[in-house]
Structure 1
């Protein structure tokens, strides 16, 4: 695709060309005061906003974990839902978030990122319940289990 910078006056007589350029990814318009404006599909804007939001969260959490102390709820801020995880789990979250961000950017689709966050949030909710936490994280011995008989 060629790089075209439209002028504000083009909005009157090149509207179709500008919209087509935007549909294909980006239309740049130079305003009368030399301000550069960009038009792009809303889906792409939302994807870029999600990647930016989670990239910032990734950097903040990575920085907190480099201090080798378990982050407080205040440190986590809007990521306080991660408070149920220990430091090793948080490091795994940061590593997986990094991979999800790369995939989302590469695919130009935030769905992989959305699915990753959804899965971790579900796990966090399960770990908040003490009984579920003990089942999920407790030790299990094969002797504790017995074969079930088929229903009669």
Structure 2
């Protein structure tokens, strides 16, 4: 938090100081009715919103997986795109999401979280196609592969 708490009347006379403090973290303003207001950079607010959203999703999915049953589409809710994964994969998702959330909060940067979600969504889309699914999850025998001649 901040050591300085501005009054609503300070917005008229000390706005430059308030804005400067907000740019560097946050500025706290006490309204006439004693409501505490906070001003902070939008990117920080968005980062906090993303971490909160995915933290809630993490807790919900972790709770669903503790039951040892595959979650239904309705139980997954807005995470229904994960329905193509088996329970073991969902556990891996939860474990990785936990680590990424910690890193994103520590770095104050949601880009690792964005990349993580994008990668899992891309994989989920690939697994929805039966042919791609059979290729991605099928067994591969080294004898199925042959050396290709060099192009001329």
TM bracket, shorter-chain basis: over 0.9
- Partner SS, residue 147 of structure 1: coil
Report what 2:138 is aligned to.
Answer: 138
Report what 1:70 is aligned to.
Answer: 70
Report what 1:81 is aligned to.
Answer: 81
| Aligned counterparts of 1:106 and 1:71: Cα–Cα separation in 2 | 31
Flag structure 2 segments of 5+ consecutive residues without an equivalent: none
| Aligned counterparts of 1:25 and 1:98: Cα–Cα separation in 2 | 25
Report what 1:109 is aligned to.
Answer: 109
Deviating beyond 6 angstroms after TM superposition, the runs of 4 or more aligned structure 1 residues are none
Instruction: Note the C-alpha offset of 1:151.
Output: 2.5
Flag structure 1 segments of 5+ consecutive residues without an equivalent: none
* 1:45 is aligned to 2:45: yes
Report what 1:120 is aligned to.
Answer: 120
| Aligned counterparts of 2:2 and 2:92: Cα–Cα separation in 1 | 42
TM-score, normalised to structure 1, is: 0.98
Aligned residues: 152
| Aligned counterparts of 2:6 and 2:77: Cα–Cα separation in 1 | 42
TM-score, normalised to structure 2, is: 0.98
| Aligned counterparts of 2:149 and 2:31: Cα–Cα separation in 1 | 77
